[in-house]
A and B are shown apart, each in its own frame.
Chain A
């Protein structure tokens, strides 16, 4: 079957970094997306990766290893306002409708001073 796993919580310090891990299992991987969701608000798209390696988008970077079923979202130079939940979502080619995303539970990142 298909599953997406993320740790529930992560704490870090302002000015440092946080790495949000995501592992997945799928029969036909077709891309992985990251979303940010602030408390009481809707998810907002951050990044999409489909090829192995590191994709640097400045404040946010994403890494993917398809052979290991693993991705991470790296937040650098953390600010208090980066405190939010970060959702990992996988698109599976093998789905009858390849346009569906399967979401993990989200990792709540708390940035403290």
Chain B
């Protein structure tokens, strides 16, 4: 049974619209992460969280917000979507058990902004 799930799996949005990507994990991990993956750039960290109620900026946070209402759920919010945010987005979880070196990834969300 998948431990990290994402919804939706595919999303088409219009420029200027609001997009919310959701992530749920059943690993009971404290840390959760949002990445985007683009050709030539690899995985880049957008936001992360240490636990419920916390959100931290990653390496490319501009244009994105995050919300961690509970241990299990972590959302990524694009208030005003732009075509440059077209990408594949991955959520991941991890904890101190593996020194945070091992992250468990969700299946990804393919977002297209027209």
Contacts and interface: CB of A to CB of B under 8 A. Distances in A.
Contact of A43 (B43, B56, B59, B94): B43
B23 to A, nearest CB: 12
A42 B107 contact: yes
B105 A105 contact: no
Interface residues of B, number: 27
A39 B103 CA distance: 19
Contacts, number: 59
A42 B42 contact: no
Contacts of B59: 102
Q: What is the interface residue range for chain A against chain B?
A: 20 to 34
A90 to B, nearest CB: 10
B101 A31 contact: yes
B105 A33 contact: no
A87 interface: yes
A24 interface: no
A13 interface: no
Given A31-B99, A43-B90, A100-B33, 5 more contacts: A43-B43, A45-B102, A91-B101, A97-B50, A99-B31
7 contacts: A31-B99, A42-B90, A97-B48, A99-B100, A101-B45, A103-B43, A105-B40
Nearest to A45: B102
A51 interface: no
A41 B4 CA distance: 13
A5 to B, nearest CB: 10
